[in-house]
Copies of this chain bind each other. A is one copy, B any other.
Amino acid sequence: MADPRGHAADREALGGSSLHLVGVGDVSKRILLGRKLRSSQLGETLLSKRIALPVFASDALSSVAYAPDEIFIMLSLAGVSAYTMSWQVGLAVAVMMTAVIASYRQTVHAYPSGGGDYEVAKVNLGPTAGTTVASALLVDYVLTVAVSISAAAHYASSGLGALQGHETVLAVLLIGLLAALNLRGVRESGLYLAVPTYLFMASVLGMCAYGLFRLAQGTLPRAESAGLEILEAPGYDGELTTVALLLLLARAFSSGCAALTGVEAISNGVPAFRKPKSANAATTLALLGAIAVTMMMSVIVLAQQMDVRMVDPFQFDRLVDGAGNPVAEQHALLAQIARGVFEGFPPGFYLVVMITGVVLTLAANTAFNGFPVLGSILAEDGYLPKALGSRGDRLAYSNGIVFLGGMSVALVIAFDAQVTRLIQLYIVGVFVSFTLSQLGMVRHWTRNLSLTKDAAERRRMHRSRAINAIGMSMTGAVLVVVLITKFTYGAWITVLVMGFFFLVMRRVHHHYEEVALELAVDEEDRVMPTRVHAIVLVSKLHKPTLRALAFAKATRPNVLEAVYVDTDRVATQQLVRAWDERDFDVPLKVLHSPYREVTRPIVEYAQAIRRASPRGVVAVYIPEYVVGRWWEQLLHNQSALRLKGRLLFAPGVMVTSVPYQLESSQVARERVAREQDRVKAGDLRRGRVVDEDEGRQVRR
């Protein structure tokens, strides 16, 4: 059918995506081979180590802003005297960190595809372990947002006194802002992540270096809280038994292990690295580990030397001044150290505090990026609705972001934005995925060893397996410690939610498997229908109807009828007259509808045709208007939609929509084009980045 606007509209149909008017052969070749620019763009857009470090490091490095604090807070239960053990606890955490980093260096070599812990567990330990890790990771993303943003809010209030006491509101607003930005589609660029992260590293490491220098000089000042006294918690007063002391150290250690969160991010992001991908990722991991350990140990040493005093913010009455009066507030370690080290130089203090808040917010943003990506991987494996697996589905992405935002806001409100409380929930999930993933790696090497004869190769594998085995034993031990020390303090919530996610994913997977079974092909399915009985639905005699008639006629069915539902005698007579006048060669069938229903008579008629000829097929052609604005959509096609929904249940009936594009549809067409080219959360980390010149998205 000739549409005078056809050509022009085609050319504009997808915005910039069809650059030239080309023949089918040309286009299909182009589609089959992919766009020409693709390989040349590749090199420019993948991440160098220099840029990859800040892109993936914000989560892991930012934990120095709260993990050392938690060590001091836990030790404070037994009073200031326990602080002497802080550096030992810190050292234990640093050893853990080294082991975990070493383990993940093996993973990035073995799994360069970026599946991360989930892929490792699934491939090597089976679907149950995979689903368990996935549940843990989903919970982790929520807690990363809640913990990082709560900490960021506290840093903001350390810098800006006016915010003091409004940390929860501030945290909720920050999460809302992040969710909104990600819903809108923020273009993450390496530069925009690199500047604050490098600034953070520089200022924190610089502060520590200057502090240690002053310590060596003997001019290190005392912290603002140095003059305060800590009252021991009930049960911790007096001499501690060995068991109680060990338990206290274990609790402090497992809280300190919060420093390990975010290390696994690089293992998910290998595809985004430049070649050699795995080697570069492994180097970046080592660098990340070195920086994280240096920062954490420096902070712990400085804090102890400056006589910092911290208690659980829910037990503030245990922190008293010389006269025995409780104090009103306490600041984070980094803030206290910065204020001391940079005394007389306020810009130094403000820089550290502000940049820490920014990097914590970036860390939360990594969760907003990672959550939909993990969702899409799980969807591809059939554990979540398949639609989540398609990058194009904005709705699926949006639901993920809204879900993540909502859950973390709920946590922040429930725990009053108190990092010390949220940490109790955090570590369980992290260590579940660490442990299962290392166990999977051990299996991986064992299997590969049985396949290789090459001695050098086998030696390398033996070494890797040893590293992963050590990592697994250590993370497994910590998992047990964490479960014991934190279960009643909140970890049970994590376990519960993980269980819920686990069951949902199992149920979804079970459904897909059942459907696959029901749909498996057998020989009978190749029988072709003997005849096609086409009916074109007529509601009025206008262009869409004529187009549907023409299209239906073009398919040359065995029978072709136009069908009209009579709900109003006068209108029916008018239509019949108009039909006869225009002298169509298609008969018009009028279905009487005594109750003025439209759907039912058509469905019944289609079913009756099919019953009369069970080996034939009924083709129902529905003319549809295509409009551009949401409210216009409400004004049209509702009956067509309902009818299509009902006809789906009739066997042997297929339904054809014949669209007629009204002028206003151009609005929607442009919206779709904009939408398709928009950046989605997580693109950068998956190596799917935007080339600034072309405005087109590229993937390895």
Residues on A lying within 8 angstroms of B by beta carbon are 1-3, 5-7, 9-10, 13-14, 17-18, 21-24, 27-28, 31-35, 38, 385-387, 390-393, 396, 508, 511-512, 515-516, 518-521, 524-532, 540-544, 546-547, 550-551, 553-557, 582, 589-592, 594-601, 603-605, 607-615, 617, 619, 621, 624-627, 632, 634-636, 638-639, 642, 644, 646-663, 665, 668-669, 672, 676, 688, 697-699
Q: Evaluate whether A524 and B2 lie within 8 angstroms (CB atoms) in the complex, with A387-B639, A551-B617 already known.
A: yes
Contact B543 A28 (CB under 8 A): no
A-B contact pairs, 23 of them (CB 8 A): A1-B525, A1-B527, A3-B652, A7-B614, A14-B603, A23-B612, A24-B609, A387-B642, A390-B597, A393-B639, A511-B635, A518-B543, A518-B662, A520-B542, A521-B541, A528-B550, A529-B554, A555-B557, A626-B649, A646-B672, A647-B659, A649-B672, A651-B661
Complex Cα–Cα for A385 and B637 (A): 10
CB distance from A686 to the nearest CB of B (A): 10
A598 to chain B, nearest CB (A): 6
User: Across the interface, which residues of B come within 8 angstroms of A642, CB to CB?
Assistant: 387, 390, 392-393
A519 and B544 in contact, given A31-B604, A385-B634, A393-B638 (Cβ under 8 angstroms): yes
Q: Are B654 and A656 in contact (CB under 8 A)?
A: yes
Given contacts A542-B520, A617-B554, A632-B511, contact A656 B659 (CB under 8 A): no
Q: Is B653's CB under 8 angstroms from A591's CB? A: no
Does the CB pair B649–A17 fall under 8 Å?
A: no
Residues of chain B within 8 A of A24, CB atoms compared: 608-609, 611-613
Contacts of A532 in B (CB 8 A): 554-555
Residues of chain B within 8 A of A544, CB atoms compared: 519
Q: Which residue on B lies nearest to A612, using beta carbons?
A: B24
Most chain B CB within 10 A, of A526, A624, A668, is at A526
Q: What's the nearest-Cβ distance from chain B to residue A287, in Å?
A: 31
Q: Is B625 a contact of A515 with CB atoms below 8 Å?
A: yes
In the complex, what distance in Å separates the CA atom of A391 from the CA atom of B38?
A: 54
How far, in angstroms, from A95 to B210 measured CA to CA in the complex?
Answer: 97
- By a CB distance below 8 angstroms, the chain B residues around A519 are 540, 542-544, 625, 660, 662
Copies of this chain present: 2
Residue of B543, B554, B595 near A688 (CB, 8 A) is B595
The 3 closest A-B pairs by CB, nearest first: A387-B638, A27-B608, A24-B612
Complex: how many Å from CA A303 to CA B392?
Answer: 72
Q: Once the chains are docked, how many angstroms separate the CA of A420 from the CA of B356?
A: 61
Determine whether the beta carbon of A648 is less than 8 Å from that of B659: yes
- SS class, residues of chain A in contact with chain B: mixed
If A511-B632, A519-B542, A655-B657 are given as contacts, then 7 extra A-B residue pairs at C-beta distance below 8 Å, sorted by A number, are: A1-B528, A1-B615, A3-B652, A27-B604, A31-B604, A32-B591, A649-B668
- B1 x A390 contact (CB < 8 A): no
A392 to B642, CA, bound (A): 9
Q: Which residue on B lies nearest to A533, using beta carbons?
A: B24
Q: Which of B527, B663, B699 contacts A2 (CB 8 A)?
A: B527
List residues of chain B with CB within 8 A of the CB of A2. 524, 527, 614-615
Q: Are A525 and B541 in contact (CB under 8 A)?
A: no
Q: How far apart sit A586 and B508, CA to CA, in the bound complex (Å)?
A: 33
A519 to B547, CA, bound (A): 11
Which of B1, B557, B589 sits near A28, CB closer than 8 Å? B589
A6 to chain B, nearest CB (A): 5
B28 near A608 (CB under 8 angstroms)?
yes
Chain B residues with Cβ below 8 Å from A516 are 542
Contact of A604 among B18, B590, B609 (CB under 8 A): B18
Task: Say yes or no: A596-B391 contact (C-beta < 8 A), given A17-B604, A546-B521, A661-B651.
Answer: yes
A1 touches B393 (CB 8 A): no
Decide: B32 and A592 in contact? CB cutoff 8 A: yes
Q: Which B-chain residue is minimally distant from A11 (CB atoms)?
A: B611
Partner of A638, one of B385, B603, B634, B644: B385
> Using Cβ atoms and an 8 Å threshold, which residues of chain B touch A635?
385-386, 508, 511-512
Determine the distance from Cα of A233 to Cα of B553 in the docked complex, in whole angstroms.
Answer: 80
- Chain B residues near A647 (CB, 8 Å)? 659
Q: Distance (Å) between the CB of A394 and the closest chain B CB? A: 9
Least CB distance from A276 to B in Å reads 21
- Closest chain-B Cβ to A535's Cβ sits at a distance in Å of 11
In the complex formed, the residue of B with least CB distance to A539 is B386
Which residues of the partner chain B approach A9 to less than 8 Å between Cβ atoms? Answer: 651
Contact A6 B651 (CB under 8 A): yes
Q: Is A550 in contact with B527, judged by CB distance below 8 angstroms?
A: yes
Chain B residues with Cβ under 8 A from A688's Cβ? 595
Given A591-B31, A672-B649: A656 in contact with B597 (beta carbons within 8 A): no
A271 to chain B minimum Cβ distance, whole angstroms, is 12
List the B residue with the shortest CB-CB distance to A650.
B13
Cα distance, A26 to B393, chains bound together (Å): 47
Residues of B contacting A34 with CB < 8 Å?
592, 594
* Contact indicator B38/A594 (Cβ below 8 Å): yes
CB distance from A56 to the nearest CB of B (A): 22
| Assembly CA distance A391 to B600 (angstroms) | 11
Residues B390 and A619 in contact, CB atoms below 8 Å apart = no
**Please, how many angstroms separate the alpha-carbon atoms of A595 and B34 in the complex?**
10
Distance (whole angstroms) from the CB of A375 to the closest CB of chain B: 13
Given A17-B604, A515-B662, A634-B385, the answer on whether A546 and B526 have CB atoms closer than 8 Å is: yes
Complex alpha-carbon distance, A124 and B460, angstroms: 95
Cα-based distance from A269 to B508 in the complex (angstroms): 51
Are A32 and B590 closer than 8 Å at their CB atoms?
yes
